[in-house]
Amino acid sequence: MEGRYKLEILNNTKIFKKNGQEFIALENTSLQIPEGRFVSIIGPSGCGKSTLFNIIAGLIKPTKGQVLLDGKNIIGENGHVGYMLQKDLLLPWRTILENVVLGLEVKGGKKEENIAKALPLIHKYGLKGFENHFPNELSGGMRQRAALLRTVLYDAEIILLDEPFGALDAQTRLMMQNWLLNIWTDLKKTILFVTHDIDEAIYLSDDIYVLSPRPGRLKTKITVDLPRPRNEGTMLSREYIELKQKLLDLLKDENDQDHAI
């Protein structure tokens, strides 16, 4: 049914050719994501997470399959979703403010208008006073915030986050997770979030897709029914622990199979 989902990835397969050998990065994978959901994708390396994101972002085309945004095909079209990689990729010659407005600038907005849109976000989400600093003057967590604000400000309805907190220490990571949940609650975007971290996936998500590697394919989908708003206490609840156990088992299977090959 059209319109039921914000984003539909239908039977996507991606085959790369390397030295004449075919390599299946993603096999017959489908995801159906309703509007406003926080969806995590979890799986070991080689499960095709990045391939999937690159397809959604329109940077590469699937060998087979469809990608629908609001029921419309967006294969090979970039600019529909906000995409953030693990590296913050702030441009070092631009100040934080100039970095945050980059997406709007590419879209062609007027400079003053872009800044007027960016400043409230910068102020509200913890970068006040750093507008005119260069990225190398900020800590890892701050840089990540700036990169996220750049993605959010781009004003796409869907945001792809590829392990955005992977390089942060545990404490900063928890802080950033809460920060992200705040933004998500405020702005009601649909978020796709790639992570290796089971706790992070459960803590943040409504749905978790588990992918398995070689070839990358969808293994299962788990719905997280923990109440929101969540906090550190959530991680101690019985439901949380049960979910974690389930995911651990799923991923353990994965590793066992992997070693059997």
Partner 1 sequence: MKQKTGVIGTESVVLNSSVVDDSITIEVLDEEVLRKKERKKIAFGQVSFGALFIILWEVLTRIGILDSYYWSSPTTILQTGWVALTQGTLLIDLGYTSVATIIGFILGTFIGAGLGLSFWWSPFYSKIMEPYLVAFNSVPKLALAPVLVILLGIGFTSKVTLAFLMVVIVTALAAYSGVKAIDPDMEKLLYSLGAKKRQVFVKVVIPSSMPWIISSLKINIALALAGAIVGEFIASKYGVGRMILYAGQIMDTNLVWVGVVALSLLSIVMYLVTIYVEKFLSKGMNVNR
Site for partner 1 in 231-260 (CB under 8 A): none
Calpha distance 63→15 (Å, rounded): 6
Q: Judged by CB under 8 A, does residue 75 bind partner 1?
A: no
Q: Which is nearer to partner 1, 192 or 224 (CB)?
A: 192
Q: How far is the CB of 187 from partner 1 (least distance, A)?
A: 18
> Are the CB atoms for 163 and 83 separated by under 8 Å?
no
Q: Helices in the chain by DSSP H: which ranges?
A: 49-56, 96-100, 102-107, 111-124, 140-153, 170-187, 198-204, 238-260
Q: Judged by CB under 8 A, does residue 102 bind partner 1?
A: yes
Q: Which is nearer to partner 1, 34 or 76 (CB)?
A: 76
- The DSSP result for 131-163, as a single string, is TTS-GGGS-HHHHHHHHHHHHHHTT-SEEEEES
Q: Which is nearer to partner 1, 51 or 212 (CB)?
A: 51
Q: How far is the CB of 32 from partner 1 (least distance, A)?
A: 22
Q: Which is nearer to partner 1, 5 or 83 (CB)?
A: 83
Q: Which is nearer to partner 1, 8 or 77 (CB)?
A: 77
Structure-token pair, residue 175: 């802080």
Exactly one of 58, 126, 140, 166 binds partner 1 (CB under 8 A); that residue is 58
Strand order across the 38-42 sheet: 81-84, 158-162, 190-195, 38-42, 207-212, 217-223
CA 23 to chain CA centroid, Å, is 25
Output the CA angle 5-6-8, nearest 5 degrees.
70
Q: Which is nearer to partner 1, 83 or 179 (CB)?
A: 83
Q: Judged by CB under 8 A, does residue 87 bind partner 1?
A: yes
Binding mask 139-178 for partner 1 (x = CB under 8 A): ---------------x------------------------
* Binding stretches for partner 1 (CB under 8 A): 57-59, 78-81, 83, 85, 87, 89, 91-94, 102-103, 105-107, 134-136, 154
